Amino acid sequence: MSVVIGLTGQSGAGKTLVSQVFEDNGFGVINCDMAAREVTEAGSDCNLELAKIFPECFDDDLTLDRRALGSIVFADRKKLDTLNSVIFRYIDKLLDEKIAKYSIDYEYVLLDAPTLFEAGADKKCDIIVSVTADEDIRLQRITARDGLDEKSVKNRFASQHGQGFFEENSDFVIRNNGESEDAVRQTIEIIDKIKEDKIGNKNK
C-alpha cells in the first residue's frame, strides 16, 4: 500500500507550489478541490441535496454558482458547516476510490486538501504536511490572485484554522513567508525525510 501524505494549510499560504514540488518528485497528487468539483457537477446527487439548502446558488439544471455559494458560507460559520456536512460525504467515497487507483502506480500519494481536517480526510493519511504564512502576506496573495475584496478574504480566513492548529496537528510545517525558492527547499527536505523513513522502515 502506498504512503498517503495529506497536504493542507491556510488559504494563500502556497499549497499549490508545494503540491507541484511533490508531483515533480514522483508523488501521485490527488487534488481535493477538483474532487469537490467532480461531486458538484451539474445535476449531481450532491447538487440535488445542496439545492434544497442553498436554492439561490443553483440554476434550473442544478449548475452550482460557486462564487455565490462561497460568499454565503464564508460569512456564516453555521452555513459553512451545513455545506461541509453534505459535500464531505460525497468526497469521502470519491477519495477512497482515487487513493486505491493511485496506489497501483505510485509509492507515495499526496492528498492536496485545503479542508483535510474538516473533511476527516486526515484519517486517511500516514503523514500530514501543512503550509502556513502570515496573514498580511496571505491577504495580499489572494486579493491579487482571485480578485476578491479584503472583507471577503478575511471572512474566508475567519472560517479556517489558525497557524497554531496546523503546527499542533501536522508532522511537518512549511513556513512560506519569503521567496518561493525557500518554500521549495523546505518541501524537498520533507520529501527526502519521508523517503528516508520509508527505506528505514523497510530495513527493520
pLDDT digits (tens, 9 = 90+) for 43-93: 999 999 999 999 999 999 999 999 999 999 988 989 999 999 999 999 999
Model pLDDT for residues 106-121, shown as the tens digit of each residue: 999 999 999 999 999 9
- pLDDT, greater one: 23 or 74: 23
In a domain, 201, yes or no: no
Domain that holds residue 131: 3-195
Q: In the numeric block, which cell numbers belong to residue 174?
A: 512549511
Binding site listing: 12-17
Quick one: pLDDT at residue 202? 56
- Work out the number of other CB atoms within 10 angstroms of the CB of residue 192: 11
Decide if 203 is inside a domain. Answer: no
Say if 75 falls within a structural domain. Answer: yes
53 in a structural domain: yes
Mean pLDDT of the chain: 93
Provide the domain count of the chain. 1
> Does residue 157 belong to any structural domain of this protein?
yes
Q: How far apart are CA 154 and CA 132, in angstroms?
A: 16
Place of cell 502576506: 137
**Distance between CA 19 and CA 38 in Å, rounded?**
20
Residue 198: pLDDT over 80? no
Q: Indicate if the pLDDT at residue 200 is higher than 80.
A: no
CA angle 128, 31, 105 (to 5 degrees): 85
- Residue 108 DSSP label: E
pLDDT, position 4: 98
Q: Percent helix, strand, coil in the chain (nearest 5)?
A: 60, 15, 25
Answer whether 155's CB lies under 8 Å from 113's CB: no
Query: Does 171 fall in a domain?
Result: yes
Answer yes or no: are the C-beta atoms of 95 and 89 closer than 8 Å.
no
Which grid cell sits at 1? 500500500
* Residue 204 included in any domain: no
| Confidence (pLDDT) at 37 | 93
Whether 199 shows a pLDDT value over 70: the answer reads no
10 grid coordinates: 491556510
Tell me the C-alpha to C-alpha distance, in Å, between residue 125 and each of 5, 27, 73, 121. 5, 14, 27, 7
Burial class for 131, CB neighbours closer than 10 Å (0-12, 13-18, 19+): buried
CATH at 75 = 3.40.50.300
Residue 146 is predicted with a pLDDT of: 84
Binding residues for ATP: 12-17
10 within some domain: yes
- Amino acid type, 115: T
Amino acid residing at 98: K
